[in-house]
Structure 1
Amino acid sequence: MKFDTVIIGGGLSGLVCGIRLLQHGHRCAIVSSGQSALHFSSGSFDLLNALPDGEVVTNPQKSVKDLIRMSPCHPYAKLGGDKFCELAGESEAFLRGIGLSFQGDSMGNHYRITPMGTLKPTWLSTSDFAVSKSERELPWRKVSIFNIAGFLDFYPQFIADEFAKIGTKSDIHLFSLPGLDHLRRNPSELRSTNIARILDKESNKDELIRILGKAAPDSDAIIFPACFGLENANMLPALGRATGKPIYLIPTLPPSIIGIHTQQYMHDYFIHSGGVYMLGDTVKRADVEDNRVTKVYSYNHGNIPFSANNIVLATGSYFSQGLIATRSRVYEPVFDLDVSFNSDRKDWYNRNMFDSQNYQEFGVKTNETFNALRKGKVVENLYVSGAVLEGFNPVKEGSGAGVSILSALFIADKILSK
Structure 2
Amino acid sequence: MKFDIAIIGGGLAGLTCGIRLAEQGKRCAIISAGQSALHFSSGSLDFLSYMPDGSVVKNPLDALEDLAKQSPEHPYSRLGADCVSQMAQQAERLLINCGLSFTGNVAQNHMRMTPLGTQRATWLSPTEVPTSTIGEALPWKRIAIIGIEGFLDFQPQLAAGSLEGKGIEAITDYLHVPALDRLRNNPSEFRATNISRVLDLAENTELLADELVRLAQDVDAVILPACIGLDNPDAVSLLCRRVGKPVMLVPTLPPSLLGIRMHQALRSRFRQLGGQFMPGDAVLRADLDGDKVKKIYTRNHTDIPVTAEQVVLASGSFFSNGLVADFDRTYEPIFGLDMMTESQRADWTKESMFASQPYLRFGVKTDNQLRAMIDGKSISNLFAIGAVLGGYDPLQQGCGAGVSLVSAQYVAEQILAMSEVTA
| Common topology (TM > 0.5) | yes
The Cα shift of 1:136 comes to 4.2
1:201-235, Cα deviation, whole Å (9 max, x unpaired): 11213211210112443311111111111111111
Decide whether the 8 Å contact of 1:136 with 1:166 is kept in 2: no
Deviation at 1:195, TM superposition (A): 0.9
Paired amino acid for 2:189: E
For the residue of structure 2 that corresponds to 1:222, the secondary structure is: strand
Match of residue 281 from structure 2: 281
TM-score of the superposed pair, with normalisation by structure 2 = 0.97
How many Å apart are 1:87 and its aligned residue?
Answer: 1.5
Alpha-carbon distance, 1:161 to partner: 1.2
Q: Is the 8 A contact 1:171 1:216 kept in 2?
A: no
**Residue aligned with 2:214, SS:** coil
Taking the aligned partners of 2:217 and 2:300, their CA distance within structure 1 comes to: 58
In structure 1, C-alpha distance between the alignment counterparts of 2:392 and 2:350, rounded to whole Å: 16
Q: Which amino acid aligns with 1:198?
A: V
Cα distance per residue 1:42-78 (max 9 Å; x no partner): 1100000111111211111011111111111111011
Partner of 1:23: 23
* Structure-2 separation of matches of 1:349 and 1:136: 35
Which moved further from structure 2: 146-155 or 8-17? 146-155
What amino acid is aligned across from residue 405 of structure 2 in structure 1? I
Alignment correspondent of 2:319 = 319
Deviations, residues 277-304 of structure 1 (Å, cap 9, x unaligned): 0111111111111200111111111111
Match of 2:146 in 1: 146
Contact 2:130 2:138 in 1 (8 A): no
Identity fraction in percent: 49
For residues 175 and 94 of structure 2, the distance between their equivalents in structure 1, rounded to whole angstroms, comes to 39
Alpha-carbon separation, structure 2, partners of 1:161 and 1:252? 17
Contact 2:180/2:195 (8 A) holds in 1: yes
* Equivalent-residue separation in structure 2 for 1:331 and 1:379 (angstroms): 17
2:421 matched to which residue of 1? none
Query: Structure 1 counterpart of 2:83, which letter?
Result: K
Cα pair 2:240 2:247 within 8 Å, conserved: yes
**Structure 1 runs not aligned, ≥5 long:** none
> How many pairs align?
418
The corresponding residue for 1:14 is 14
2:406 is matched with 406
Structure 2 gap segments, 5+ residues each: 419-423
Partner of 2:165: 165
Q: How does 1:14-413 map to 2 (within 5 A)?
A: 14-413=14-413
Contact 1:146 1:156 in 2 (8 A): yes
CA distance in 2, matches of 1:52, 1:228: 36
Q: Deviations over 1:321-356 (max 9, x none)?
A: 000001111110111111111111111001111100
When residues 298 and 216 of structure 1 are mapped into structure 2, their CA distance, relative to the original with a 3 A threshold, is closer
Which stretch of structure 1 is more off in the superposition, 206-215 or 401-410? 206-215
**CA–CA distance in 1 between the matches of 2:247 and 2:178?**
22
Whether the 8 Å contact between 2:372 and 2:378 is mirrored in structure 1 is: yes
Q: Post-superposition shift, 1:375?
A: 1.4
Q: Give the AA of the match of 2:178.
A: P
What is the rounded CA distance, in whole Å, between the counterparts of 2:72 and 2:154 in structure 1? 40
Deviations 1:363-415 (CA, angstroms, capped at 9, x unpaired): 00000000000111110000000000010000000000000000000000000
- Check whether the contact 2:230–2:257 (CA below 8 A) recurs between aligned residues: yes
The AA in structure 2 aligned to 1:272 is Q
Residue type at the aligned position of 2:312 = V
